[in-house]
Chains A and B, each alone.
Chain A
């Protein structure tokens, strides 16, 4: 984490700047200094959170250091088997919430990808007037405040279908706006699809379904993959919509939220460390893959 904070070293002075003033480009220096401060603002809280996960203090802190410990990850039991320190293995609700969050996110992928793809295909073949109206309607969930999405989905499903708030309503509420993101990604991709390809397939006697499966879908696969990742992350980390649509059930994120109401526990820091490690690992893999391609 701290290594990443060092990233913004000075941007190389541009040829134009050097030619113009000849001296030190103070604006550039100020900008670089600002970027360093900004990166500290981004990463310092996360670094402190990670550090506090290894502090034996039972309120998360780095200033009041009481020794290094892994107890918040592993928990600790005494000889009699009584739990002394509640770590991640004892906090089973976090694991349960995690499983539910993953289940919900997979449900969102299953729902939002087909919806977004279908809408993108419909929009790509609509005339300008009706198309732009439909487009505005379908983009609107992105611009709707999260709690409004949660509230409106929860009340509709109870009023109209008698379904109480729970994981199912969360999947629907998430999909309503995540499908919009997917749709936008598919539209961007479809713009680059040469319509002649589909037409050629049809002219050569392929059925519509065959042409779609063999021409359009393969072209869209990379976007389906990216959109799935985006959908998963969006759903997984969402709090504001989930909070209103989850009812008496809970996900990892709402569980962390309700714990925070009753005081802070270093086990949440431990979860934070796991998230950071996962994210940094994923980022590293991504960078390596790009290096290899580039």
Chain B
């Protein structure tokens, strides 16, 4: 700290330290702390506050429906109120209104025909004002009930212990899948990284590197889209097989490529291949080419050269590549969600998604996300230990 002040003066040093602190606390530490807290807090799901929240939601929907009706009535007026000419646009909404708010007097089924639109707008506006006025009290009630429930809900490990055996299985399988993706990516990428590093110094290396980077400047989602297009039931792969006479598309014969783990693996390797190639390439690039030539001159086989010379040298790069690929595949919702929808069992990331957005149980979702983080961190630490690399090397 004293160094920093000496180099940049008090004012600038304070700015730099302050910015670093903001990043560290607000964007790294607090989100994790909050997620952990939620993970260890049992949420009371169907208490009175939840019921009240449903009421509140219903009231908000009702307002939206009334707005819709008002707009419909206004267009009717704008069209010179000719309900006979055009079917009254308010009809379907009138039905909706009745369904969305059972307590409210449903508009007469005749809709625009029975009541002039001006009068209807008047009535709808009054209803809307009434509904809007009721909302703050309901929201306050939700908060009050929830505060009471929060006070009762203490720290608990129940979010973890109540996980179903199926989800535990998915958790284990996701680990295996990610290891599989990492292994495949390593096997696929090692020769590529070696070849590019070997071509180094020639103009070809630049082109090869460019060839590797260009697909990556194109969006991840578009890369995935390209593959779903190929693998879809009526997609290119099945089309090609049909043309070859292997299957008969017209006859309804399709091979279901999507929603299989093989496809998810292939696309995931495709999506994250660069993160494996580049670290290994960077490592091999620093290897003296004379070392390989010396080994060859001394009669070492290709296999032996790699095992004894290249791979030991590339070790840090291999470690980093494996870490990045594993972490990316564990944290990917895009590939399992888009290539493998309907895949059973899911990937763990899809379970996290469902807890947040379908079950709306954020605390259970946080617990699952924390588990994924722990899994990924454990893998990273394991690989770092096994390969004897530190955090400094990862940063390259």
Contacts and interface: CB of A to CB of B under 8 A. Distances in A.
Interface of A: 4, 7-9, 11-12, 14, 16-17, 19-20, 27, 31-32, 34-35, 38-39, 41-43, 45-46, 48-49, 52, 59-64, 114-115, 118-119, 121-122, 125-127, 132, 134-149, 151-153, 155-156, 159-160, 172, 175-176, 179, 184, 187, 195, 198, 207-209, 212, 233, 236-240, 243-244, 253, 256-257, 260-261, 264, 268-269, 271-272, 275-276, 279-280, 282-283, 287, 290
B199 A11 contact: yes
Contacts of B259: none
B338 A257 contact: yes
A240 B333 contact: yes
Contact of B236 (A9, A48, A236, A261): A48
B373 A148 contact: yes
18 contacts: A4-B211, A35-B191, A35-B192, A38-B188, A61-B235, A119-B20, A122-B16, A122-B17, A132-B392, A143-B323, A145-B376, A147-B349, A149-B31, A172-B27, A176-B27, A209-B12, A243-B334, A244-B333
Given A63-B236, A172-B27, A147 B333 contact: yes
Contacts of A45: 223, 226-227, 229-230, 270
A61 B11 CA distance: 61
Given A49-B222, A139-B394, A264 B228 contact: yes
Contacts of A257: 221, 334, 337-338
A178 B217 CA distance: 16
Contact of B217 (A14, A118, A184, A282): A282
A110 to B, nearest CB: 12
Contacts of B365: 151
B333 A119 contact: no
Given A27-B302, A207-B9, A240 B332 contact: yes
A255 to B, nearest CB: 9
A275 B226 CA distance: 13
B221 A63 contact: no
Interface in B333-386: 333-334, 337-338, 341, 349, 352-353, 356, 362, 365-366, 369-370, 372-373, 376-377, 380
A176 B222 contact: no
B352 A151 contact: yes
Given A46-B218, A139-B391, A176 B12 contact: no
Contact of A256 (B28, B222, B293, B370): B222
A34 B202 CA distance: 19
Range of interface residues on B (Cβ < 8 Å): 35 or more
A243 B333 CA distance: 8
Where chain B touches its partner, the secondary structure class is: helix
B327 A239 contact: no
Contacts of B230: 45, 48
A153 B31 contact: yes
Interface string B168-207: 0000000000000000000010011011001100101011
Contacts of A233: 217
Interface of B: 1, 3-4, 7-9, 11-12, 15-20, 22-24, 27-32, 34-35, 38, 188, 191-192, 194-195, 198-199, 202, 204, 206-208, 210-215, 217-230, 232, 234-236, 239-240, 242-243, 270, 273, 289, 292-293, 296-297, 302, 323, 327-328, 330-334, 337-338, 341, 349, 352-353, 356, 362, 365-366, 369-370, 372-373, 376-377, 380, 391-392, 394-395
Contact of A38 (B192, B224, B292, B366): B192
Contacts of A135: 391-392
A132 B349 CA distance: 31
Nearest to B337: A257
A260 B228 contact: yes
A34 B208 CA distance: 13
Contacts of A276: 218
A114 B211 contact: no
A290 B210 CA distance: 12
Nearest to B194: A31
A181 B158 CA distance: 37
A28 B327 CA distance: 33
A-B interface, 4 closest residue pairs, ranked by CB to CB distance from nearest: A145-B331, A63-B239, A208-B9, A152-B31
B78 to A, nearest CB: 20
A61 B32 CA distance: 44
Contacts of B12: 208-209, 212
Given A31-B191, A176-B31, A239-B221, 14 more contacts: A8-B211, A14-B293, A31-B194, A42-B270, A46-B218, A48-B236, A63-B242, A143-B394, A145-B327, A145-B372, A147-B349, A160-B34, A253-B219, A272-B226
Contacts of A17: 296
A282 B210 CA distance: 11
B217 A283 contact: yes
B343 to A, nearest CB: 14
A27 to B, nearest CB: 4
Contacts of B214: 4, 279-280, 283
B55 to A, nearest CB: 20
Contacts of A139: 391, 394-395
Contacts of B338: 257, 260-261
A115 B20 contact: yes
A52 to B, nearest CB: 6
Contact of A125 (B4, B19, B38, B239): B4
Contact of A151 (B35, B236, B380): B35
Contacts of A132: 391-392
A236 B218 CA distance: 10
A155 B34 contact: yes
Contacts of B356: 151, 244
